[in-house]
Chains A and B, each alone.
Chain A
Amino acid sequence: MTTAVIETERSGRIGARAAVLAYLAVCGVVLLLMMLLGLAMRLAQAQSIELSPALFYVLMTMHGAGMVGIAGLGGAAIMWHFLRRYVPLSTGVLVANLVFFLIGAVLILGAGFIGGFAAGWTFLFPLPALSGFQWSVNAAAAYLLGLVSIGVGFLLLYLDIARGILSVYRGLGNALGVKQALGLAPLADGPPPAVAAATMVTIVNTTGIVFGAAVLIISLVNLYVPSFAFDPLAAKNMIYFFGHVFINATIYMAVIAVYEILPIYTHRPWRTNRAFYLAWGLSTAMVLIAYPHHLLMDFVMPAWVLIIGQVVSWLSGLPVLFVTAFGTLTNTYRSGLKWDVAAGLVFLGVAGWVVGGVPAVLDATIAVNGVMHNTLWVPGHFHVYLLLGMMAMMLGFMTYLAGAKSPFGMAPVGFWLYLIGSSVFVLSLLAAGSASVPRRFAVHLQAWLPYDQVGSLGACLSLAGAAILVVRFLALLPAAAREDAAKP
């Protein structure tokens, strides 16, 4: 293992760091653009600005695809950056993934803003082919091909990560710490947290992407050969399996930033123990099984599958969330930590993840889902753990890489604007969801406008905060390229 670390450090250090920074620069810029689209949608629902329904749904589709894309990209940057300390990874493959991503992004943006494609980022079969004359078959194909391109890039990346892990650990089970979890090997020989997390993500995301690619190709063929029909329920299962796994994996990648960065500030190592390895092992299986909670209102699904969907959803987040949340709290507790924006964002990320688990688990409960499904409760819960969880970790990583030694300037203001604005924003969504306001409606009833107005205010503040943090990162990019820039 030592040899591998040394080789990794020798090979293309500057190129690797530059590639990670390029990932983060793309993520930062796209994040701001996507937040701007989100704000525009909220303002339109509040009737503060006018957007035609056609444009609203294009923005909605672009926002969804863009945010899921950069959540994956940002998570991958975090994972790759820290994982290469332990296993040899190819910078070329990392760059190739970014190229595939950018090609996909161009296709998706063209499909939406030129072709008018607006089937939602989940492209539920057969909506891409049946637009009601709102977009052409070619526009739908461009969108689907864009997703295929992004999927191919990520698949290459995960295959290279699997190669790197296997070259050092000689088995995914070893890299996941299965022997340590079962008490069959000493804890001292267990993999570092970053390796265990990366192994879990590699297993679930490779599986998820294969299913996503299959349903994308089927949908593509159906566009041009309508007689090539596919079962809508099977397509929905495949799409939500892929989507659920992919978006969950983003936070499992981003949490590596917590394991690696927080101990630098607290001067306490992140302890791995049997519970840690057990948690990651269990979560690997449960993330793959929990997806039926997206189909709880499809009554034709076998009831036992939906019941498993509920039970496993309650279980799935618990192990890793529990060890990570508890680890974060004990690692930080009276550690003498000197807070800065990077540490604050990483810590906030764990808090947001935990807090976001509450409305998520409740929505995965069948009795609750019956009155909450596809209301604004759903974007409410996933914006808690994406905005305040995953994205906070990513912004923390960006701030950390940009150099904690560099002056923070307005960054503390950015942190508080982001925290307060995002909190107001997500609470407005959850409150609206509990009042049965539907999600994905371009036009809202008068009675729903107060939620939209408060949400717009929150989105404004959140966007302003994110803008400060991203602009600081971009301004410090040249300094961030130096290897020692990140040391606090």
Chain B
Amino acid sequence: MIQDVVWGSSIVAMGAFAALFAWVAAGADLALPNYGPVIASAYRLRGWLFAGAVVILVAANYRTLGELPYVSLAPRPAGPVATAAAIGEQWAWSVSPNAFAVGQTVEFHVTSKDVNHGFALYDPGMRIVAQTQAMPGYTNILRYTFPQPGTYHVLCLEFCGLSHHDMKSDITVAAP
């Protein structure tokens, strides 16, 4: 899942940066007799590092901007698309219909009757697979294709008051 890739790459990158700072800190009490040549080399290195950072930036954005969750930018799926209304209201979800089949593509039309809510779709293993905001006066369309059977869960991920944590609903996905 994306979360595992993000967690793993974050740990590696954060660890590398932390190690670099620790290494410089550990050797800081030693005094270089001639700092000039070192700083000149460091500035050349900075140029290369900056160029490397820009390459990573461009590559990462090019790669990730091809996978946007916005229906307005995504191609229409070849098969049929079901529509479901998902309406948030302090502190309950109304999702209708809430039963689908594996492989079915569903467009959730998400809105709110009162305050801002967050429509987060959790898989049967309680990992988020998709989400969008539920805002009064607006309808966000979230498209998702269910890959596995089981009970999916809808949790509210935008703080909405006293029973925010209890604002849950279930979606059943049947095997084909």
Binding site for B on A (CB under 8 A): 53-54, 57, 118-120, 124, 126-127, 130-132, 134, 231-233, 236, 266, 268, 271, 275, 297-300, 303, 306-307, 310-311, 314-315, 318, 322, 326, 329-330, 332-339, 344, 347, 350-351, 354-355, 358-359, 362, 365-368, 370-375, 377, 384, 430-431, 434-436, 438-443, 445, 447
Binding site for A on B (CB under 8 A): 1-4, 6-7, 9-10, 13-14, 17-18, 20-21, 24-25, 27-32, 35, 38-39, 42, 46, 49-50, 53, 57, 60-61, 64-65, 67-73, 90-91, 114-116, 118, 120, 122, 126-133, 135-142, 155, 157-166
Q: Is the CB of B142 within 8 A of A299?
A: yes
- Main secondary structure on chain B at its contact with chain A? mixed
From B25, which residue of chain A is reached at the shortest CB distance?
A: A347
Q: Inter-chain contact count A-B, CB under 8 Å?
A: 229
CB distance from A187 to the nearest CB of B (A): 14
Q: Is the CB of A231 within 8 A of B114?
A: no
Q: Is the CB of A354 within 8 A of B137?
A: no
Q: Is the CB of B3 within 8 A of A366?
A: no
CB distance from A58 to the nearest CB of B (A): 10
Q: Is the CB of A332 within 8 A of B25?
A: yes
Q: Is the CB of B70 within 8 A of A351?
A: no
CB contact under 8 A between A314 and B60, given known A119-B161, A373-B131: yes
- Main secondary structure on chain A at its contact with chain B? helix
Q: Is the CB of A436 within 8 A of B27?
A: no
- Given A351-B18, A372-B128, 15 more A-B residue pairs with CB atoms under 8 Å apart are A53-B162, A53-B165, A124-B116, A126-B114, A233-B137, A303-B70, A314-B57, A332-B28, A333-B42, A337-B28, A339-B28, A371-B2, A374-B120, A434-B7, A447-B126
Expressed in whole angstroms, the Cα–Cα distance for A303 and B141 within the complex equals 13
> Given B2, B50, B127, which contacts A368 in the complex, CB threshold below 8 Å?
B2
Q: Is the CB of B136 within 8 A of A126?
A: yes
- Could you list 8 examples of A-B contacts with CB < 8 Å? A233-B138, A298-B133, A329-B20, A332-B24, A362-B9, A370-B131, A384-B14, A434-B4
CB contact under 8 A between A297 and B133, given known A124-B158, A351-B21, A366-B68: yes
Give the residues in chain B near A54, CB-CB below 8 Å: 162
From B136, which residue of chain A is reached at the shortest CB distance?
A: A232
CB distance from A261 to the nearest CB of B (A): 14
Q: Is the CB of A120 within 8 A of B131?
A: no
Expressed in whole angstroms, the Cα–Cα distance for A297 and B132 within the complex equals 5
Top 10 closest pairs, chain A to chain B, by CB: A336-B31, A434-B7, A351-B21, A374-B157, A299-B140, A441-B165, A334-B32, A440-B159, A436-B128, A337-B28
